[in-house]
Amino acid sequence: MELLKQRILSDGRALDEHVLLVDSFLNHQVDVKLMQAVGAEFARRFADDGVTRIATIESSGIAPAAMTALAMDLPMVIMKKSVSSILRDGILQTEVFSFTKNLAYQLTLKKDFILPGDRVLLIDDFLANGEAAFGGFKLIEEAGGIPVGLGAVIAKVFQAGRDKLLAAGYRVEALAPVKRMSEGVIEFE
Amino acid sequence: MELLKQRILSDGRALDEHVLLVDSFLNHQVDVKLMQAVGAEFARRFADDGVTRIATIESSGIAPAAMTALAMDLPMVIMKKSVSSILRDGILQTEVFSFTKNLAYQLTLKKDFILPGDRVLLIDDFLANGEAAFGGFKLIEEAGGIPVGLGAVIAKVFQAGRDKLLAAGYRVEALAPVKRMSEGVIEFE
């Protein structure tokens, strides 16, 4: 997606080989018009896949997922990283390790919100090691849903996540696949 | 906002005098079309206030805030409840206690993302005790911004938050102000 790649080149910043800072338009300050374009692009790529539901993982996936759900006229479900005191019954959980935050969390879904047979498109801001995506797909499958694929706004394809997901049979669409980074340098696939 | 109140009456559930479950359309499963209508309503109410930026607090505020930002054609900033390993410099923080989760967190904002003189509309899903809103306004002011007001999707006006915010001089717009609840009963103001 050219518009997104250009924005990453102009406003993103590679801090080193692994860390890409995009907090000025994607995950802290958010350009919602750009997210609307991202949602339209995911809707286009998954237009023929009979998607019935959008899922995402709190919290940086929510804005692009909401715009995708709006473009596709579908409900969205937000998988949680913590359980509130009022969400206790009928939940599914799986442990996910976040390399960014260097901690494990219990990814949580109330199973009412994915129906058996639902064709679910998982949207997230980043794909790196794939831990969150595998956790999300696991919960979708445990609820009886069918994972249609992962839509990642940015994928660091030099990390293991995309290859592992493809090897496990999951479809991956990355709007900005980064093949190499170093301080001040970002190269797309 | 009649559409929202009707949805709360049909799909929300008062568990007791204090807990209103709206996770089927607002904060776990999300009806993005309803959020679009919510965004349009906030845009209407704050149309004449010279708003230059939308702020929200992760994560349940993000969907209504993104739709408000889209309706008003403004950037959005998401205040964080935790700090990632790559967000360390130039940040503002204030401690907020969450009664829902029964824990305190450091509400965090990179100060680049609110500019001096910015007129900031804070959007959140719930207003109850007002802790999160006071924390959000504090960070906006510390960054040099001007809080225009709080837009709350739902306000439990029988709790202290709204009165305290009004007493402190902040404007509060609640689309669904709940004046009383008990098991199975929800009454609007």
pLDDT value, residue A84:
66
From the list A23, A31, A110, the residue facing B87 with the nearest CB is A23
pLDDT at B89: 77
Check CB contact under 8 Å for A87 and B28.
yes
Give the position of tokens 């019935």: A52
Per DSSP, the three-state class of A125 is strand
The pLDDT of B58-73, averaged and rounded, is 97
Q: Residue B80: beta bridge partners?
A: B108
Q: What is the DSSP string of chain B?
A: -HHHHHHHHHH-EE-SSS-EE-TTTTSSEE-HHHHHHHHHHHHHHTTTTT--EEEEETTTTHHHHHHHHHHHT--EEEEBSS--TT--SSEEEEEEEETTTTEEEEEEEEGGGS-TT-EEEEEEEEESS-HHHHHHHHHHHHTT-EEEEEEEEEEETTSSHHHHHHHTT--EEEEEEEEEEETTEEEE-
Partner B contacted by A16 (CB < 8 A): no
- The per-residue pLDDT for B85 is 64
**Token reading at A105:** 């969390």
Nearest CA in chain A to B80: A28
Q: Mutating which of B78, B115, B156 best tests the A interface, going by the most A Cβ atoms within 10 A?
A: B78
The SS3 assignment for A136 reads helix
CA gap B41, B48 in Å, rounded: 13
Q: Is the pLDDT of residue B35 over 90?
A: yes
Q: Do B21 and A86 touch (CB under 8 A)?
A: yes
Question: Which SS3 state, helix, strand or coil, does residue A133 take?
Answer: helix
For position A102, what pLDDT does the model report? 84
Whole-number pLDDT of residue B62:
98
Query: Quick one: pLDDT at residue B87?
Result: 62
Q: Is residue B91 within 8 angstroms of chain A, CB to CB?
A: no
Chain B residues near residue A85 by CB distance under 8 angstroms: 100-102
Is A38 an interface residue toward B (CB < 8 Å)? Answer: no
pLDDT computed for residue B101 by the predictor: 78
What average pLDDT score do residues B85-94 get?
80
Closest partner residue to B84 (CB to CB) among A73, A77, A100 is A100
Per-chain mean pLDDT for chain B: 95
pLDDT band at B86 (very low <50, low <70, confident <90, very high): low
Cβ-contact A138, A120 below 8 angstroms: no
Q: What is the CATH number of domain B35-178?
A: 3.40.50.2020
Mean pLDDT to the nearest integer, B53-62: 96
Neighbours of B182 (CB within 10 A): 12
Is A85 an 8 Å CB contact of chain B?
A: yes
pLDDT band, very low/low/confident/very high, at B82 (cuts 50, 70, 90): confident
Q: Which of B29, B54, B109, B181 to mutate to probe the A interface, most A CBs <10 Å?
A: B29
Residue A22 in contact with partner chain B when CB distance is under 8 A: no
Single out the residue of A124, A126, A122 nearest to residue A170, CA to CA: A122
The greatest distance separating any two alpha carbons of chain A, rounded to the nearest whole angstrom, comes to 48
Distance between A43 CA and the closest CA of chain B, angstroms: 15
B84 to A78: CB separation less than 8 angstroms, yes or no: no
Helices B62-72 and B32-45 pack at an angle, to 10 degrees, of: 50
Q: Name the amino acid, one letter, at A45.
A: R
pLDDT digits (tens, 9 = 90+) for B14-27: 999 999 999 999 99
Share of chain B above pLDDT 70, in %: 97
Considering only CB atoms, which chain B residues are within 8 Å of A19?
A: 86
Distances (CA, A) of A165 to A138, A168, B5, B172: 12, 5, 42, 46
Residue positions counted in chain A: 189
Alpha-carbon radius of gyration of chain A? 16
The answer to whether the Cβ–Cβ distance between B78 and A30 falls below 8 Å is yes
pLDDT over 70 at B84, yes or no = no
Residue type at A6?
Q
Look at residue A18 in the predicted model and tell me its pLDDT. Answer: 92
In CATH, what is the architecture of A2-188? Answer: 3-Layer(aba) Sandwich (3.40)
Q: What are phi and psi for residue A37, nearest 5 degrees?
A: -65, -40
- Note whether A37 contacts B: Cβ–Cβ < 8 A: no
pTM above 0.95, yes or no: yes
Alpha-carbon distance B27 to A86, whole Å? 12
Answer whether A67 sits within 8 Å of B63, measured CB to CB: no
- 10-residue stretch averages of pLDDT, chain A, 189 residues long: 98 94 96 98 98 96 98 98 73 91 91 97 97 98 98 98 98 98 96
For residue B93, the Cα-to-chain-centroid distance in whole angstroms is 18
ipTM at complex level: 0.96
Report CB contact under 8 Å: A101, B86: no
